[in-house]
Structure 1
Amino acid sequence: MPAAMRKRVEPIPGTPLPHGILNACTTVVDVGDVHELMGVEWMALGCCPVRQWVDPCLTEAGESPGEESPGERPEKQFCRPEFEHATPITLYAGAECSTLGWTYEEAVQHAQATMDLGEQHGLEAAFWDTRLTTDVVDLTPPQGPVSVAQGVAALEGCLAESYGGVGVLHVPAGAAALLGCCNLLSEDPTTGNLRTLAGNCAIIGAGYSARNTGPGGLPADPGTAWLYITGPVHIRRGPLDVLPDRSASVNIRTNDRRILLERTYVVGTTCTVCAIQVEVCP
């Protein structure tokens, strides 16, 4: 059928994945303070261990009261908290079309719909590149990738050794189905979030799947995927800026209109980031 005979209808709407970085497991705060959107730093909380103290004055079995224990007197250990930081991530969605039959308001609406659907995907990819794959502990054994169940177990063990709270498992969407094979995740009836048996929350990211790289940004081998685990994830999100204004949006030489929507985020996590490569093919 010739294109001129086709009837134009409303676009097919979409819905972001329900367990992505903006819909599950994270704290998202909309902020207007431009200083917070330039990057933040904080003193790490929960990364220092809580140790057992054994009083050397208490007698052991077989010792007589007042008898001194051999060796040096033990001392309590102190942990100096470290400062952590998060850098800004700016995402944009652009729309371009002829001004004939396409108003400024329609252009903004189109760019807005693009941002609404793709914002989560873009943020996941950026967080993967700028944080997850940098300064990370690689748990992959010398013999190569492990099963998904083994990978999740190793990651949770790594996080538990350095952080005593609930963490976040970061899973590419392409590997998500395998998490159901061993009942590794279940849906929290209260929040709808996905959680492991240990209680850690899971993000299933389309943007993660688009990257699927290991520490240092190296691409995953065919038939494998990279999983990561972190402490809690906190997202500061700035206002949505529409650029430019009505008059400046038109290029008078081509009679095309361009609209740009931008938003800045600062995504932070705490303590150790651990990674492991898993097999996704049986």
Structure 2
Amino acid sequence: MKKIRKAVFPVAGLGTRFLPATKALPKEMLTVVDKPVIQYVVNEAREAGIEHLIFVTGRNKSAIEDHFDVQVELYETLSRRGRTEILERLEAMQPEPGQVSYTRQQVPLGLGHAVWCARELVGDEPFALLLPDMIMQSETGCMKQMVELYEQTGGNILAVEECDPTETHKYGIVGRGKDAYTGFEITAMVEKPEPEDAPSNFYINGRYILQPEIFALLENQETGAGGEIQITDAMLRLHATQPFYAHIFTGNTFDCGSPEGFIKANLALALDSPQLKPHVLRFMRSFLNQE
């Protein structure tokens, strides 16, 4: 069984739900408390043992490359001023030389196409796929938990959570088979089914471990919903020849691609900070008492 060494981050999206804030700033660089969204997702991948970060970018995404680059002048200034604590934090987040690669998705043809654009950088090995809008809050990162399941089962792994059974039409839903370690075997995958047609109420939450055979399927994949190349369609085809397992994630998931999810993430992570929590609670109580 090959180790999961590489992770793909599709960051070419336009972020239209956050305009005008994202007109010049990538949505992945919007700040949640004290870090950009993409930093939380990269931290999760690195905690899981990922060695190589692969970003599938688009136009106006150079700020992401700058963020993960060494800023010599900044580091030297912080050192001269004795700002050792913040300097150590920045250096801890800095990937080593050769650990980051970038490729361009020239045309926005969907998530499946973005993943296919990373094929030469991933090569012939299993890889993690992390949607950069999704911040996961848990004591042990979601991807690390998935890697632990993968080491028990092999195959392909999808992280899932339970939704309200009446809201299955909003998500990609999986069917539940036999239990397997921290999850279960996946028997079906259905994109946004109506409640009466849903095989369960477990939805895919934006974290994947996929085998490299997915690339050959994506290369010949016809466009699906929205005229885009859908990763779910390729996974369905791969499911015919390879096992898929679900890891049940029980932490908090915040969709920072939407304004409401972004606000929830800021509040939840601020309340998770010992330094910020009393200030946030005091403000919230004061603000609510005014109404």
**Shorter-normalised TM-score: what interval?**
under 0.3
Larger Rg: 1
Structure ranking higher on relative contact order (CA contacts 8 Å, 6+ apart)? 1
TM-score, normalised via structure 1 length: 0.25
